[in-house]
Structure 1
Amino acid sequence: MKKRYWLSVWILLFTVGCAEKSTPWQWQLPPGFSPPPTPADNPMTVEKVTLGEKLFFDPQLSGNGTQACASCHKPEHAFSEARTTSIGSTGEKHFRNALSLTNVAYNATYTWAHPELKTLERQILIPLYNENPVEMGATQQEIKILQRLQNDTAYQQLFSAAFPQTSRLFTMDNTVKALASYVRSLVSFNSRFDRYAYYGEDILNDRELRGLELFMSERLECKHCHSGFNFSLSTVHAGTTSSVRGFHNTGLYAEQSAVEFDRGVFAITGEERDKGLFRPPTLRNIAYTAPYMHDGSIATLEAVINFYAAGGREVSDGKYVGDGRLHKNKSVFLHGFEITEEEKLDLVAFLLTLSDESFVGDK
C-alpha cells in the first residue's frame, strides 16, 4: 500500500500543474462483479484515494496528533486490530473491537450495531468526533488539525489534485471525502476461494471442500448470517439497496442490568427486540482479524466454532455472569449443533481459503 501511495504521489506531482480533470478510479473486481455504492457527491478518483491513503496513516488527523486511523485499523490485520477492544488517542478504552475494513464499501450498514448508518462518509465522523469514549478527538480541534495539514507541502499538492475545482481545499468535509474514498477502495477478491469460485480454478483440496460443504449446510447454518460474496448478510453493491435487517443476537451474553453493558442495536433504537443484536461482519480475511466478536472476547477460530456449536455461552464469573444461550432475542439460527473434531479442522481449513495475502501484504 505504501508503494502504491508514493507512486501515485509521483504521478500527481508530475501532472497537477496542468490537470483540469480528476482521474476516475478503476475497480479491480472479479468478472461480472458490480462496484460498491458511491455517493453522487463523492465520486471515486485516483487523486482522492491517494490523498485519503496518506490521511488514513497520518496521526496529524487526531486532535492531539498521536493517533491515525491505521492505529486501530492495521493493514497486517486486514485493517482490524489484535487488541480485544480499541484504545483512543487520549488513552480511553473503547468497548468494541475494531472491525476489519475488508470490502467495507459493500456494507449495507456501518459499525457493529447502527441500522441507520449507511455511508462511509457518515461513519467516518464517528471515530473523528466521538467523545464517549474519545477516539480521534477531533471535536473542537478542527482548526488545529486543518492547519497542520495545510502547513504540509505534500498535502497542499494532494488536496489541490483531489479537489481541483474547489475554492476552499482544507476543510473537514474534503478530508472526510478523501478518507471515505480510500477506505472504499479497500477491496479484497484475491483469495484462494475467489480463484475457485469466480475464476474457475480447481484449487481447493478435499479438506477445504468438506469445510465449504459444512459451512453451507443446514446443520451448521453459517450461511444464513454470513451469506453472499462478502460472507455477510449486510451487503449491497452499486444500484441496489438492502431490505434485510442484518443484525443478530448470538447468545454471547445474557441480558445485564449494568448501565455500561453493550446492548448493540438497542442503544440506537430503544426497542426490546434489538437488545444484544449486532451486525455479522465479513468472514473474508478472518484468519488475520482475531480476536473475534464485537468485544473481542473469543480468541481463536476454533473457539468461535465451539461457541456456535454450543448455541451461545454461559459466563460463570466476571462482570457479566449469565447464560447467553437463554437470551430471549437469540437468533433462531443459533440452536447449536453436533460437530466432530475432524469436521472442525475441515471448517477452519475452508475459512482460511478466504485469506487474501495480497490485501495484507505491502501496505
Structure 2
Amino acid sequence: MTENEQPKTKGRLFHRPLAFLCAALALQACGGGSGSSASKAPSGETPPGGVAWQWNLPAGFTPPPVPKDNPMSVAKVELGRALFHDVRLSGNATQSCASCHTQESAFTDNRSLSRGSTGEVHPRNAQPLANVAWNTTLTWANPNERTLEHQMLTPIFGTNPVELGVNEGNRASVLARFQSDAGYAQRFKAAFAGEADPVNWDNIVKAIAAFERSLVSADSRYDRSVAGKASLTAQETRGMKLFFGDQARCSQCHGSPNFNDQFSTAASLQADPSFHNTGLFNIGGTGAYPEPNRGVFEITGQAQDMGRFRAASLRNIELTAPYMHDGSIGTLEAVLDFYAAGGREVGNGLYAGDGRLNPYKDERISQIRLDATDKADLVAFLKTLTDTAFVTNPAFSAPASR
C-alpha cells in the first residue's frame, strides 16, 4: 500500500504542532497484539457480516476510527487477509499487497523505493502497516487521504506509477478471477451477507481495509516493561529517557501510542495532522526538494509546505529499514547521525545543497543535541520497540489455503 499523491487542491492547509505529547505511561501495553477476538457486537446484534469484531486492545489504545459503511467483522477480516496475500489481485497476477508489505519486515518491503507489478519503481518508500488503523492520514504527504478504503484505490488502480496494475482494460477479468473461485464466493457471501452480488471491487477494498485495521502491534519489550512484565537494560533505559526528554526531542514528533504524531481514535479524530521538513534537502539553497517528492507542497503548492512529510511510526523500526520517505538513509545509526547534524548536506550533483539551512525546516531539528553515546543509547531503546509476536502472528500471514 504505497502511495501515489493526488493532484493539488485549492486553498491553504494550516499546520499546527500537536496539542498532545503522550508521556511514557500513556503508552502502556499488555497482552498480545492480535487486536481481536470473536464475539458478538456490544449491542448483542449480529452484524450483516456475521460475527462482529471485538477489539481486544492494550492499555493506551482505544478503538480506531471505522467507517460506518464498513463495520468490522471476523468474516470480513479473514476475507481481507486472503485478498491481501493473493497475487491474483494484480493485473498480471504477479503481485499482491503483501509483495510490498511483508509480515516479517513489519509489513514493509525493505527496499529504498518499492516496485510495482510491472517493475515500475515507486517514488516513495513503502510504509509499514502496524497500527495503521489509528493513522490520521495514510500516505507520506497527502493531508487529504484519511481512510484506508479511499487510499487503497491508488495502489490497485493507479497508473503513475503502476502498482497492482488494474486498469479499465483488465478490471473485469481481474474481478472474474475471484467471481469464478468457489472458495472466495463463500467468503464474500459470509462477509457481505444479504448482498445479491457480493464479489465486487467495492467489497474487495472494504475487506482488505478491514484486515489492515486488524494489524495491531503493541507487545514489544518496551510495552512489556511499562506493563511491569519485562525489564530494560541500563543502556535501553538511558535511551528511553533521551527519547522522551528535551535533549533528543524524539517524542515531540513520535509521542503517540503509535510513536508518531498522527493518532486518531473513534472518539477523537485529529483535525489538523502535522507534517515536518527535517532538512533532507535544500536544492541550490532554495529550500527545494526533488520532484515528485516535495512533500505536502505537491498537494497545496504553498512554499511553506515544501519538504513536509509525515513522521513515521517507530514501532518495529528495527525491521523496516531503509528509512525516510525516499529510503535514502539505510540504518538507525545513520538516521540519528542525520538528526544530530540538524539535517543533511548533499555536496554535489543534481540535488546539491545544505539541508541544515533549509528555510522551511522544522526549527526543532536544530535543537537536537546528541553525542556518540547518546546515539548508541537511543538505538538500543528503539530496538525495544520490535514486536516479534506481531511479525510472526499466523492471524496476519497468508492463509494456508483458500
TM-score between both structures, scaled by the size of structure 1: 0.91
Which of 194, 203, 207 is residue 174 of structure 1 equivalent to?
Answer: 203
Distance 2:263 2:305 in 1: 20
The verdict on how the C-alpha distance between 1:334 and 1:165 changes in structure 2, with shifts beyond 3 A counting, is: same
The verdict on how the C-alpha distance between 1:333 and 1:167 changes in structure 2, with shifts beyond 3 A counting, is: same
Equivalent residue, structure 2, for 1:69: 97
Distance 2:290 2:258 in 1: 34
Equivalent residue, structure 2, for 1:337: 368
* Amino acid paired to 1:327: N
Distance 1:20 1:249 in 2: 45
Q: Is the 8 A contact 2:50 2:191 kept in 1?
A: yes
Query: Residues 1-55 of structure 1, C-alpha deviation per residue, up to 9 Å, x if partnerless?
Result: xxxxxxx9xxxxxxxxxx9761111223114631111011100001110010111
Equivalent residue, structure 1, for 2:254: 226
Equivalent residue, structure 1, for 2:69: 41
Q: Is the 8 A contact 2:125 2:324 kept in 1?
A: yes
Equivalent residue, structure 2, for 1:12: none
Distance 2:104 2:229 in 1: 26
User: How far apart are residue 317 of structure 1 and its match?
Assistant: 2.9
* Amino acid paired to 2:248: L
Q: Is the 8 A contact 2:309 2:325 kept in 1?
A: yes
Q: Percent identity?
A: 50
Equivalent residue, structure 2, for 1:144: 173
Query: Residues 288-345 of structure 1, C-alpha deviation per residue, up to 9 Å, x if partnerless?
Result: 0000000000000000000000001001134311111111110011105332222222
Which of 259, 267, 270 is residue 239 of structure 1 equivalent to?
Answer: 267
Which of 322, 325, 331 is residue 300 of structure 1 equivalent to?
Answer: 331
The verdict on how the C-alpha distance between 1:315 and 1:196 changes in structure 2, with shifts beyond 3 A counting, is: same
Q: Is the 8 A contact 1:86 1:93 kept in 2?
A: yes
User: How far apart are residue 259 of structure 1 and its match?
Assistant: 7.4
2:344 matches 1:316: no
Query: Residues 203-246 of structure 1, C-alpha deviation per residue, up to 9 Å, x if partnerless?
Result: 21211111010011212111111111111101111111113431
Report the more deviating stretch, 62-71 or 331-340. 331-340
The verdict on how the C-alpha distance between 1:318 and 1:28 changes in structure 2, with shifts beyond 3 A counting, is: farther
User: How far apart are residue 202 of structure 1 and its match?
Assistant: 4.8
User: How far apart are residue 200 of structure 1 and its match?
Assistant: 2.8
2:386 matches 1:358: no
2:144 matches 1:113: no
Distance 2:110 2:291 in 1: 23
Which of 206, 210, 215 is residue 243 of structure 2 equivalent to?
Answer: 215
Q: Is the 8 A contact 1:248 1:331 kept in 2?
A: yes
Distance 1:306 1:32 in 2: 31
Q: Is the 8 A contact 1:310 1:336 kept in 2?
A: no
Equivalent residue, structure 2, for 1:254: 282
Equivalent residue, structure 1, for 2:156: 128
- 1:48-63 counterparts in 2 under 5 A? 48-63=76-91
Distance 1:260 1:233 in 2: 25
Distance 1:336 1:112 in 2: 24
The verdict on how the C-alpha distance between 1:259 and 1:80 changes in structure 2, with shifts beyond 3 A counting, is: closer
Q: Is the 8 A contact 1:62 1:137 kept in 2?
A: yes
* Amino acid paired to 1:324: G
Query: Residues 64-118 of structure 1, C-alpha deviation per residue, up to 9 Å, x if partnerless?
Result: 1111001111111100111110111111111100000010110001110010111
Distance 2:190 2:340 in 1: 53
Distance 2:181 2:351 in 1: 48
2:131 matches 1:103: yes
Equivalent residue, structure 1, for 2:28: none
Equivalent residue, structure 1, for 2:107: 79
Distance 1:359 1:202 in 2: 17
Equivalent residue, structure 2, for 1:190: 219
Equivalent residue, structure 2, for 1:14: none
2:271 matches 1:266: no
The verdict on how the C-alpha distance between 1:155 and 1:38 changes in structure 2, with shifts beyond 3 A counting, is: same
Distance 1:20 1:236 in 2: 26
Which of 146, 153, 160 is residue 189 of structure 2 equivalent to?
Answer: 160
Report the more deviating stretch, 331-340 or 275-284. 331-340
Q: How many residues align?
A: 345
Unaligned runs of 5+ in 1: 1-7, 9-18
The verdict on how the C-alpha distance between 1:351 and 1:30 changes in structure 2, with shifts beyond 3 A counting, is: same
Q: Is the 8 A contact 1:36 1:238 kept in 2?
A: yes
Q: Is the 8 A contact 2:343 2:355 kept in 1?
A: yes
User: How far apart are residue 130 of structure 1 and its match?
Assistant: 1.3
TM-score between both structures, scaled by the size of structure 2: 0.82
